[in-house]
Each structure stands twice: as structure tokens, then as C-alpha cells.
Structure 1
Amino acid sequence: MKHYTESTDKQFAKEIIESAPQQSKAWLSFDKEVHDVQTSIPTKYKELISIGIALTTQCPYCIEVHTLKAKEIGITQEELSETIMIAAALRSGAAVGYGLLSMKFFKDTEE
């Protein structure tokens, strides 16, 4: 095994879909409904939101898919950069948030 994640790993999606067809169909349908159906949130915003979430969940496949789709529909480098920085701010904020929990555990042992 060269790397834990590689772009070519997407080839294994076929096996997952074949091995869990009902669940895969439901998930793919849900994903399509969320991303592809026109709603009050424009597609451009949906893709920028998806990139931000993919960055915080650290899913390389989602980062690739949503970045390329967003570029295809015309996002700018500046919009991508701002999305990256929003994700970075939220991710660091989450560390502080979980730090509160850590402090709580620390303080609870003093009682």
C-alpha cells in the first residue's frame, strides 16, 4: 500500500455499491437531492458550503469533487480562498470548543 488515500481509490465505489445496493441507492439519491435540485440556496453556495465542510471533515474525495464542480460553475480563486479560511477558523474554533470539555473534565476531578 503506497498511500492511505489516492484518487484512484474511487474505483472501489463500484464494489461498495454492488455489495450494499439498497443503501447505496438511498444515499446517492439523498446526495443528488441535496446538491443537484434547485432550491433557495444557489448551486454556487451549496458547492462552497460543501467545500468548507469537506475541508473540516478532511475528506479528500469530497474536496476534489466539490472543488472541481465549483470551479466548473464559475467560483473564483478568491471565493475558494475565503471558503478555505472560513473552514480554518471554524476548525480552530472547534478545538477551543473541545478545549472547554477538556477543562471541564480536568476541573471535575478536583471535586
Structure 2
Amino acid sequence: MYTMDNLKHLGALEKNASPAMKAFQAFDKEALSDGVIPKKYKELIAIAVALTTQCPYCLEIHKEQAIKAGATQEELAEVTFVAAALRAGAAVVHGTHLMNK
């Protein structure tokens, strides 16, 4: 189901919703460009989000971009555990809604 070949269909989205797709692409490019937060950190943030949302496309794309921006294997490993801690923490604090008041 999830194969990078599916990204070939992005052209169909652009063809059928060109203004929205172009706006998204411009937004995505700007959001992830070097700024006050360096590109490497932005890509590591994107990886943490992708690990949390479990998007295989984002994982692959942002892993490549993070490495190009200088991310190390150690940083990729650490970001994995940051995402895991946040996801687990969310489950724990949501568990408070289950407790009798």
C-alpha cells in the first residue's frame, strides 16, 4: 500500500487542484527552509512528527533531507526516542480522563 511510487500521483493532485497544490508546495518550502531554526533542526522536527503520525512518505523524505542538512545517525536515533516519549506521554496524560473524579 505504501510505496514511494505513489508520490508519482502528486502530479494528479496538482492537475486537479493546482492553486491549492502550488500554495501547499510554497508553504512547505518556506516552513522547512533555513531560518531562525536551522534546516537540520527543522528536518529533525519533521521526522519526530512523522514518527508520531506514522507517515512513511514523510519519514523517507525528511530523513533524506535531514542527512543532507548534516544530521547524524545518532541524531536520528535520539529523535526517534523523543517522538516515542511524546507519544507515550500523551497516552499517559490522556489516561487521566479515565480516572474517577
What is the TM-score with the length of structure 2 in the denominator? 0.92
Q: Deviations over 1:69-111 (max 9, x none)?
A: 111222111111000000000011111122223x16xx48xxx
1:73 is aligned to 69
Please tell me the residue identity of whatever aligns with 1:84.
Answer: T
Q: Deviations over 1:57-76 (max 9, x none)?
A: 11111100100111122211
Q: Deviations over 1:7-36 (max 9, x none)?
A: 111111110111111111111111011012
RMSD: 1.4
Q: Tell me which of 15, 19, 24 is aligned to 1:22.
A: 19
Pick the structure with greater CA Rg: 1
Q: Tell me which of 8, 33, 53 is aligned to 1:11.
A: 8
Residue correspondences, number = 101
Listed as ranges, the gaps of 5+ residues in structure 2 are: none
Which consecutive aligned stretches of 4+ in structure 1 deviate over 6 angstroms post-superposition?
A: none
1:84 is aligned to 80
1:61 is aligned to 57
